């Protein structure tokens, strides 16, 4: 029997929502990244990926700027949703679920914004893991994931008062 076949209608459902706009620094090109660009510039022949990296890195317009990043939380009865405008690494989503007061928590990515960027955990960002290369796939500072996870947890706890 499928779980939906055993589902019961929800009565007196609590609906609530909260949103917070975080101001998170964009990645700012550092000496190591500039050296990477210089090495690419010095190459006589570049692969298409290297050429793209060089062009994107040289045109990066966000050094020392802040991004406005909305974090949303929604309560639908016993279900909590934490929504981000970017793709957060799984570890961040699992942490939000682990500390959520909701019996069931879903993490929604790419919600209500046009930020097609990855948000890795801090350690993954600093190690340059998949999806964590600055400017190409990671636009925000290394600890953006920590800030987003913290904000979602605070919002969810506001929706489930003790």
- CA 25 and chain centroid, separation: 13
What is the pLDDT, as a whole number, of residue 12? 76
Residue 94 has pLDDT above 80, yes or no: yes
What is the pLDDT, as a whole number, of residue 4? 66
pTM: 0.86
Using one digit for the tens of pLDDT, what is the confidence trace for 105-142? 999 999 876 666 889 988 888 887 776 788 888 899 99
CA angle 157, 87, 139 (to 5 degrees): 110
115 or 19, higher pLDDT: 19
CA angle 153, 73, 124 (to 5 degrees): 50
Residue 101 has pLDDT above 90, yes or no: yes
119 in Cβ contact with 147 (< 8 Å): no
The torsion region of residue 159 among left (phi > 0), alpha (psi -120 to 50) and beta comes to alpha
């Amino acid at each position: 029997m499928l779980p939906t076949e055993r589902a019961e209608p929800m009565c007196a459902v609590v609906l609530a929502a909260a949103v917070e706009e975080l101001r998170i620094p964009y990645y700012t090109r550092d000496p190591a990244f500039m050296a990477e660009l210089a090495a690419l510039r010095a190459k006589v022949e570049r692969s298409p990926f290297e050429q793209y990296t060089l062009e994107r890195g040289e045109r990066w317009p966000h050094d020392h700027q802040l991004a406005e990043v909305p974090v949303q939380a929604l309560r639908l009865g016993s279900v909590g949703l934490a929504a981000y405008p970017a793709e957060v690494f799984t570890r961040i989503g699992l942490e939000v679920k682990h500390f959520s007061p909701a019996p069931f928590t879903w993490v929604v990515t790419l919600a209500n914004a046009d930020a097609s960027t990855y948000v890795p955990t801090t350690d993954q960002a600093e190690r340059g893991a998949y999806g964590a290369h600055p400017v190409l796939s990671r636009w925000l500072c290394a600890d953006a994931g920590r800030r987003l996870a913290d904000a979602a947890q605070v919002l969810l706890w506001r929706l489930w008062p003790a």
